[in-house]
Amino acid sequence: MPELPEVETIVQALKPCLTGLTPVKVLCHKAKILRTPDLLLSALGFPIKDITRKGKLILLWTSPYVWLIHLKMTGQLWWQPKIFPLPPHTHLIVSFLHSDYQLRYADLRQFGYWQIVPETKLAQVPFLQKLGPDALTVTPEILKKQLHKKKAAIKKVLLNQQCLAGLGNIYSDEALWLARIHPLTPANILTPLQIDKLAWAIRKTLRRGLKLGGTSIQNYIQPNGQKGLYQRYRFVYRREGLPCLRCGMSIRRINISSRSSYFCPVCQRL
């Protein structure tokens, strides 16, 4: 699933392309992709004022409406000329007034969705209500508050979007390695020093992912079709059996809540 760096990279790439354009037509070939078809006609005809991110969610602002896009597991946003062939598994196409380009949504597994919400009701969207603080700007104070009384493994807690918004399997493994914290460590026993290091590691890892344009191991691509580069420079994720870049010990993999977690048994002692 695209995580914060991937989603933010998409947002920054699309912002100069979409800002000021007016959506005038939407073709949706899979009904479940568009959760609010009843609002579609009403929402057309308003220029896009901004495109932002909330956790892993993309928001297109066309006051008086907001278009919410969640890529989930395999969602992709393509910004392409109308004359280009559609990418495989394209399920939704947005056309714009006086533009030769289209915003195309492809999704192999079809778990992602689009939702149109009146701007006045945005705060009532359950998904947004439950999101925790943004991981990109987490501080030790915020992290300490979020981890307080949570006895679950720190890796499991970090994957919970109600704890921190935007973290996923890749960057949580990377941040825990940077902070030298074992992924099975109960969250509520982390020391103040460990919390300080983890907050720093989360911010550093996410900023590094942003700088490299995200991680393209499976389905993630940028709107122009380019791949991210983080996978070339990852510390532990999917490096099972390879030497730790810090101490040389072989990286190990364990399952936590049905998710693979990668760590160094020497640098990240339990």
Helix ranges restricted to H, the chain: 4-18, 40-43, 126-130, 140-147, 154-159, 169-179, 192-211
SS3 assignment for 10-50: HHHHHHHHHCCCCEEEEEECCHHHECCHHHHHHHCCCCCCE
**How many whole angstroms separate alpha carbon 213 and alpha carbon 180?**
25
Give the integer Cα–Cα distance in Å for 125 and 107.
23
Question: Residue 76: which of 112, 51, 48, 100 has the closest Cα?
Answer: 112
CB 155 within 8 A of CB 237: no
Q: Read off the tokens for 269.
A: 């002692």
Amino acid letter, 192: P
- Within 10 angstroms of residue 30's Cβ, the number of other Cβ atoms is 14
For residue 126, report the phi and psi dihedrals to the nearest 5 degrees.
Answer: -55, -40
Please choose, from the candidates 144, 169, 149, 148, the residue with its C-alpha nearest in 3D space to the C-alpha of residue 158.
169
Q: Report the catalytic residues.
A: 2-3, 56, 259
